[in-house]
Structure formats: C-alpha cells, structure tokens
Chains A and B, each alone.
Chain A
C-alpha cells in the first residue's frame, strides 16, 4: 500500500494556503495555542513506536524489558528530515497497538509512521501518498487519510498502490474551520474494520465520533451523546448490558451538553462543557477511575509472585477489604469522576484499558491498566484512581494534548504559553 521513500523528497507540488485558525483536536478551549510542540510518549514500545534503541539487536526492534515498557515519559525525536519539515509547526499524533502516526501540519502536510512496518524496520518513514493530508486515523489494519477534497483508507496489511476505499468531498468555497474530523466523513464514518464506510443519519448532527473496535460514541452538535455497538461491559451507558445496532441517545446525560467524547476497549469517557469528566463501561483494570476489585486482586497476585510466595487464592479477600468498600466492575450508567484536586478537564483520550486526561492548567492525569508503563508513573503499576503524572510538573512543562494508543500514551507539551484562557 504505502511506500517508504528514502530520503524524503523535497517536492512541494501543492501549496496549501488555508490554515485553520487553531487546529486543535478539541473545540472547547479555542484560545490556547502553543508552539513549539514537543511530544512525549510512554508505555508499550515493543515495535519502537516511542523510541528505537540505539543498538539494533540482530534486526529485531528491541525486546529487553526496559525498552518494551517505557514507564517514564520519553521525548519523541523528530521523525521527518529537518530540511523538509519545520519542527515549529504543529504535529498531531495517533497510535494503534503497534504503530504511531504523526501528522505534520505545515504548508506541505504529511503523515509519517513509526513502529511496526512490513519492511521490518522501526524507523519513522513518511507516507508518500499522504502529501497534503489534513487529518489521520490509524488502526491496526487501516490508515485513514483525510484531504480537503477526498478521504482514503489504506490497508496496512498489504502493499497496494491504491487505497482500499476512498470518497470525494465536495468543498464549499466559503467554508471555514476544520473540514473533516475523522472518523467522521460526509454522510457517515470510517470504521477500523470492514465494512470501512458506514452511514450515519444526518439528524444526529454528528460533530465528533469516537470508535473502539466494538462500540461507538457520537457527540452531536447539540452536545447530546449517542452510543451503539457492543454493550456487554456497560460501555454504551444505557444502564444494561445489551448491545445496540443503531445509535441510541444516552439519556442519563440529557440536559448536560458534552464537548468531547473518547472510547477505550470497553469503556467510554466524555467531557461536559464545564470541564467535568463522565465515565462508564468496564472497570476491571481501574480504567474508569473507580474502585476496582479486579485491580486489587491483580496487584496482590503480582506482589505475591514477586515475593516467591505460594500462589495466592484469588478469591480470598484480605482483612483490609472486609470493611465496606464498594467496588465497581461495570458502570452501566455514566458516572461523574472526581479528580483531586478539583480541576477542569480540557481533553481526554483512552487506550484499551487506561485513560489519560489533560486539565486546563496543563496537568496530565492517568489511570487504569499500567502493566506496560502507559500511566507514565515510572513504575508498572495499575491504578484505579486518577493520578497526576509528576514528570511534567517537575520539568515545568504544560501539557496541552494527549493521545493514547492501545497500550501507550502520547502527551503534547508546550514550554511557553502564547495565550491564556
């Protein structure tokens, strides 16, 4: 499908004059724009999608523990040849289980990929067919590219010269603002697996769409939230475990306009206009930030194995648990999640079993599954409580954005504030 040229060509065939006023990934805080942008990653790195170990070992990317599980935020090096891409420009990230995609938005936008590549190399290569791209989405099997006049889905499993699916977009000459917000496309959306293109009713007025492999959370222009897909773990928020074939409004959030939605493997999160966080779905790994029995059990088993103790009975509860703690394994209705100290949430992203949120004050909080270091707390522990990632505070860095891959987290950081909210 996509070819990885070396070196990067200097072709600037089309000049994109149009620059959006602030191409931030969320709409709630418009007046905070910060350059330059630096990105840090932590978590799963078995394919070198965060960084590549200096000494390649027999052509393998890396399999020493410290390199596979990056538990401390690590700066991402600039992937594209500096001659061609100005580092000062904005860069967005997307991640799948084995890869990371970077969208360099400048006069000559392009997407580069890091991580697992069919050529067996681990370095980041620009994707030739992505010149002029305005938005990108990556799943384990497909790369979706949105241009101003078309959308394309490329099959990452094959080496083909044409996209698996594409669609023309008719642009209005006087339209302003972001044209396409993947996975939304005119008339519907693109899914991470076949069928790629799916219709959406226009009366939903879709403004933002978050997809996991099995469920979907849609934000409409009115601020209402609709969900559909697999419901077995309460991830649809309708109060039960039934799956839904068609979008169904989340009535528990009625009357509270939301501004941002995100999905994990089995959980859903949204941010209200006021900056509050609502969570629902599976909490087995603490990904909802609510007390999790599954997590406590797993932590006990981990520590007892490390101490070489006799394998613990998973069902016995130690004395401390006897007094009235309420555990939540499935939260079938949206619940308000309190982050302490109290703060306003600016943006949130979910990995498979973890969640990461950025506050308006520039702090990053993470919670959920931490076995691969994806919580960035310099250990491999999971957490069922939102915890601030102190690394950024210590470095006096202001986090402005966060994007999660399945088992890792990428945070964008600014050193200077250009404008304050």
Chain B
C-alpha cells in the first residue's frame, strides 16, 4: 500500500509552501490556524501512531466547524469559502487515512470522504478531490478484482412484467417525431413551448451501445462511491427523506457529475445549443430507480430533455396555463409541486383537476422527452429505470 501513498503524494504540491490556504475574511483566523496545522502535519515526516491520530483529529476539527457553517442558513446562502474549507478538511482527512498502509476499509472511508467533499464542498486546488478519488477508485477496483465474487450480494433480477401499464389515448398522446432538424425543433416545439418525444436522437450513446448500462455495470464503475439518495416512493410523503449512501449499499440514484466516467457513455443533445445559456450551465442528472418510483406532479424553472436509457416510464404533462387546476402546495418550500396524486386524485379536495387537459406518453429506451420550461410533469417508472435529464436554458 506504500504505492498508494506515493501516488497520492505525487498529486499534491511538493512542498508545504506550495499548498495554498487563501480565504476571505469570512473564514476566521482561528479556523485558518487549524488549516495551517493540518498542512504542517501533512508535510511532516512523523509517521508514528500519535502523529496519525493528530492528523485525523485536526482534519475532523476542520470538517466539524465548516459543516456547522454549511448548515447555518439556506444552502443558497452558504458562503463558497466555507465550502472550500470543508473540501480542505476532506483532503486532509483522506490523506491521513491513506498515509500508513491503509486497510480496505480505510480506503473506502477515504473514498467516501472525497465524495463528501465533492458533494458538499467547492473545488480546491484544481479539483484535487476528484484526482484523489480517481486514484483511490483504482485501488478499490484492483483489490475487488483479486477477491472472490462470492462475497457480494446477489442482485435479484426483477421480473420485467409491469402492472398497471397505461394505455395511451391518441388524443392525449404527446406527439412523436424522429430526428427533427434544429430549425424544425426550434420552430415547432421550443419556441411555442410544446412537449414532444424525440425518437432516434440518442441511438449513438455508448450507454446504449458499447457500454450498455446495467446494474452490474454501474456497480463495477461506481459501486464504492457515495451519492445522495431519496428514500420513499414520493417526495411529498411524510416518510420521504434524503440520505447519503454508496451505490453498492443502496442502488437507487446517482448524480453524474460525481462520477465523470459515466459521462463518457452519454452525450449532450444537440438541441441544447438553441438555448441562451452556456454548455457549462447545463445540469445533467442520472436517475436510477426501481419500478413504481413516482415523481409527483411538479414544474421546474428550466427546459428539460429527459432521455430514457434503460427501462420505461409513464409521463403525464400539464401546461402552466392550467396551474390553477393543479392545486400547488401553498408553502414556499413546495410551491412548485402539486398536491394532487395524479393517478389517484381526490375529487373532493381537488375538483378542478379532472378538467385540466394533459398529454401523456410511455418513454422507452432511445426516447427523449422535451419538457418545456415550467410544464408540469408526473413520472412513474414502469420497471427498473435509468434516465438522464438535461436542464438547460
């Protein structure tokens, strides 16, 4: 394992003075003092148990104090400087874990630590956490290759028959079109904000060709990585919560930015160039969930391309013009979400809902649904499903 530390060392600046610790006034000097201590410890040659304990302790202090600042107000208002401090804490902790012949568990903990920094922190030192987690993942893959497969839990193949397969009426069906030109899409759908299913536009994705996405593939590429997971069938349920888990532990959802390797299997839809924003401003998310997962009727503030890679989803769309019939939640936190259960509406509480016109479709592998900005949409997975969404403006 000495090779592991050598690789990580090589990714870090050679000398202590070259590791930058520059922060605005928002970060108090007492905290900067802690960061300096960690930096000193990182470059000191002490390798005994006491030094190791001191490194972990100091890194944890930095993590604890910055975690408190990250939770101090709404996420939107968290100062980026504190997210950077948090990332430094993750860096020092991961380095401390990998210093002295780390066990397999310590390597996994270091991966999780880097992932926490990537999820909650802000990029530091040319995104060093991404570099380090890449090194660590290589280490994890190497050791799992050498092990027997028998230790891993069997993933039961779910039956592909779907219950309650919706029948799409011709009158309410979302129109389908095969590979429209940019101009045609722009004129007929983007500018008038009309939903449409685009067929044949993602047939070239590696995720559908050379490296087809499957449970096994995902576990192989990203099994040890930590991702945010929504627990509960719909986010308006009282029992719904968000938690952080590794993909291996609870395979339900992952966010692409954290695992750039999966980004190689998909491509940005060309139609996104019709927007005003930069390519860098396009938010790409991967959605991974079992049959029956429901996204309650809601609207988003950006244009959306929802690309289906594996499995199928039933989707219903309502126009923003009919918002008054959709009974959005009054609270500011959920005002973009309807109170109505789309496939089981309470006619007494929501009498106008049945009068709202809608369009619907079953999205299958290879389909891309254009959801115009602020169009209300409801989604139910009909079987194990992988989709990729592109939010753009």
Contacts and interface: CB of A to CB of B under 8 A. Distances in A.
Interface string B226-268: 0001010000000000011110011000000000000000000
B171 interface: no
A11 B61 CA distance: 40
B337 to A, nearest CB: 16
Given A116-B33, A314-B245, A241 B71 contact: no
B125 interface: no
A53 to B, nearest CB: 13
Contact of A315 (B109, B243, B332): B243
B105 A311 contact: yes
A313 B249 contact: yes
B306 to A, nearest CB: 27
Contacts of A47: 30, 33
Interface stretch (A24-32, A58-66, A334-342): A58-66
B54 A97 contact: no
Contacts of A232: 73-74
B30 A310 contact: no
A140 interface: yes
Contacts of A242: 332
Interface in A235-250: 241-242
Contact of B30 (A68, A140, A352): A140
A242 B53 CA distance: 42
Contacts of B57: 63, 65, 68-69
A195 B249 CA distance: 47
Interface string A148-189: 000000000100000000000000000000000000000000
A213 B243 contact: no
B103 A308 contact: yes
A187 B28 CA distance: 29
Nearest to A141: B28
B135 interface: no
B61 A46 contact: yes
A365 to B, nearest CB: 23
B72 interface: yes
Range, interface on chain A:
35 or more
* Most chain A CB atoms below 10 A, which of B25, B30, B33, B71: B30
A406 B28 CA distance: 14
A214 interface: yes
B58 A352 contact: no
A118 B249 CA distance: 46
Interface string B171-195: 0000000000000000000000000
Interface in A184-225: 213-214
A46 B54 CA distance: 11
Contacts, number: 74
A60 B72 CA distance: 30
A230 B73 contact: yes
B250 A63 contact: no
B72 A314 contact: no
Interface in A278-321: 305, 308-311, 313-315
Given A157-B28, A230-B73, A315 B250 contact: yes
A355 B68 CA distance: 16
Nearest to A68: B57
Interface string B47-59: 0001001100110
A65 B243 CA distance: 30
Nearest to B36: A60
Given A118-B29, A157-B29, A313 B112 contact: no
A contact face: mostly helix, strand, loop, or mixed: loop
Given A46-B61, A314-B244, A60 B37 contact: yes
Nearest to B38: A63
A311 B245 contact: no
B231 A140 contact: no
A317 to B, nearest CB: 12
Nearest to A58: B40
A273 interface: no
A217 to B, nearest CB: 17
A353 B41 CA distance: 28
B64 interface: yes
A412 B95 CA distance: 41
B243 to A, nearest CB: 5
Given A65-B53, A265-B68, A313 B74 contact: no
B105 A308 contact: yes
Interface string B260-280: 000000000000000000000
Contacts of A157: 25, 28-29
Nearest to A353: B68
Nearest to A99: B30
A51 B312 CA distance: 64
A266 interface: yes
Contacts of B249: 313, 315
Interface in B29-45: 29-30, 33-34, 37, 41
Interface in A120-143: 140-141
Interface in A34-71: 46-47, 60, 63-65, 68-69
Given A140-B28, A230-B73, A314-B243, A97 B61 contact: no
Contacts of B11: none
A64 B65 contact: no
Given A157-B28, A311-B109, A352 B54 contact: no
Given A266-B71, A309-B105, 19 more contacts: A63-B37, A64-B53, A65-B54, A68-B61, A97-B30, A97-B65, A98-B28, A116-B29, A118-B29, A157-B29, A230-B72, A241-B333, A242-B332, A308-B103, A311-B108, A311-B246, A314-B243, A406-B68, A407-B64
| Nearest 4 interchain pairs by C-beta | A98-B30, A313-B249, A116-B30, A63-B54
6 contacts: A46-B61, A63-B58, A140-B28, A157-B28, A157-B29, A313-B250
